Amino acid sequence: MSASSKQQEAEDSDHNPQVVVTPTGAAHSIRHDRSLWRDLTAYWILGLCNNYGYVVMLSAAHDIIAQFNDEPEVGEVDDTGKGRECHLVSTGAILLADVLPSLFVKILMPFFPFWVNVRIGIAVACSAAGFLFVGFANAEWMALLGVIITSASSGIGETTFLAYSSRFNKNVISTWSSGTGGAGVIGSLSYASLRSLDVSPRDTMLIMLIFPAIEAFAFWLLLRRPQVLPVTTVESTEELISDEKPLVGFKEKLSYIKHLFKYMLPLCLVYFFEYFINQGLFELVYFENIFLDKASQYRWLNVDYQIGVFISRSSVNIFQLNKIWLMSVFQCINVVYFLTEVIWFYTPTIWIVFVIVLWEGLLGGGAYVNTFYRMSKEIAPGRQQFAMSMVVQSDSYGIALAGFLAIPVHNAICELPAAVRSVVW
């Protein structure tokens, strides 16, 4: 073989990761892949951009409600004439608008044809439209519609990218999870920072339109297309092991779902407890006469939470935990703390709250990344595409239930007499 042909072969292997599909559906590289960094980087960026709008809408939840209410609504007034200052339309309403469309999309997507380019095109367009609707909203329904469109975009992207990851090196799961954690930090921090600089909500949303454009670049230009080379050997004609066969048909896929419950239930519980805190109770945590006003406290608690999520979602190659149910127990303990705190105001300093919120984020992010990393190792490659797109629904089930419960609990606490923080450090 000539030197020029060898050079051309090396360039081809860099541009297209050549993959062999074994009888069990497994994908294996047949030569050294020197451009793997492109896939890993692309998946990090895709995780960031896909979740960015979702995070921003939750970080902006307090402001989205407040801009259509001139005065904060209060609960019942106690004997001193002072009641609790809080919106009776809780941020849980924004949570529902931000998660229910995504959940609906996630339920349907596994059973639709896997037209990846069409799906991602729709996701990018919806993401941009969501920012525009919220930015130019002149009524509450218009802002909520923008949140709904953004949610649908996130749901389409997450199911598609995770299912598509089965065709790449398994470490793209790690970089995807890290990117989604990065979306939490960058999304909440960028929103809080821009608002602290007195950038208007409209201009803030317009600035954030750059992220759908980056998502399109990462998918269509940076991420390589997997090149599958079927193997025509004797082994390829052998009968496949029954539990490793790729799933075919609606009935077969439906019957397989019960095998995924061990992944879905713990993840659902972790996110139920987590978002009950974030959208039902965060808004009611308030420390008077400190360096942050009430709205800023809500924003920076979200930033703190997202830092915890980012750290844990980026840690799976260093530390793995298979007992996801243990994280749901710890998250339940966090619920007890926050519920009692917002009723009685017994924590002496906001720094204690920041530490607990960071721990809450670590638990949530750890549950997410460890669940999908386990699946990438334990589930037959031929079934991973469907399994990933099903299990990704479970966090949305928990979040949706949390949103429904957060609204009445939030409103009930709003109607209590105002608590007084007796011990302050």
Q: pLDDT truncated to tens, each residue of the chain (425 aa)?
A: 554 544 444 444 444 554 444 433 444 444 457 889 999 999 999 999 999 998 888 777 667 766 766 544 444 444 444 567 776 555 667 767 778 898 899 888 888 888 999 999 999 999 999 999 988 888 878 888 888 999 999 999 999 999 899 889 888 999 999 999 899 889 888 988 898 898 887 899 899 999 999 999 999 999 999 865 444 343 444 444 555 677 777 888 888 899 999 999 999 999 999 989 987 888 888 888 888 888 788 888 888 998 999 999 998 888 888 888 999 999 999 999 999 999 999 999 999 999 999 999 999 999 999 999 899 889 888 888 889 889 989 988 998 898 889 888 988 898 888 888 877 77
Say if 116 falls within a structural domain. Answer: yes
Sheet containing 227-230: give its strands across: 27-29, 18-21, 227-230
Say if 134 falls within a structural domain. Answer: yes
Say if 373 falls within a structural domain. Answer: yes
Say if 160 falls within a structural domain. Answer: yes
Q: Are the CB atoms for 130 and 98 separated by under 8 Å?
A: no
Q: How far apart are CA 92 and CA 98, in angstroms?
A: 9
Say if 278 falls within a structural domain. Answer: yes
Burial string for 189-218 (b: 16+ CB within 10 Å, else e) reads bbbbebbeeeeebeebbeebeebbebbbeb
Say if 158 falls within a structural domain. Answer: yes
Structure tokens at 157: 């992207």
Q: How many domains does the chain have?
A: 1
Query: How many degrees, rounded to 5, is the angle at CA 371 between CA 259 and CA 171?
Result: 115
H or E segment and range at residue 18: strand 18-21
Domain extent, residue 379, equals 36-65+85-227+247-415
Q: State the CATH number of the domain containing residue 135.
A: 1.20.1250.20
Q: How many helices (DSSP H) and strands (DSSP E) are in the chain?
A: 16, 3
Say if 383 falls within a structural domain. Answer: yes
pTM: 0.77
Burial string for 342-371 (b: 16+ CB within 10 Å, else e) reads beebebeebeebbebbbbbbbbbbbbbbbb
Structure tokens at 108: 């349907």
Residue located via tokens 């539990």? 243
Say if 11 falls within a structural domain. Answer: no
Nearest to 168 by CA among 319, 36, 324: 36
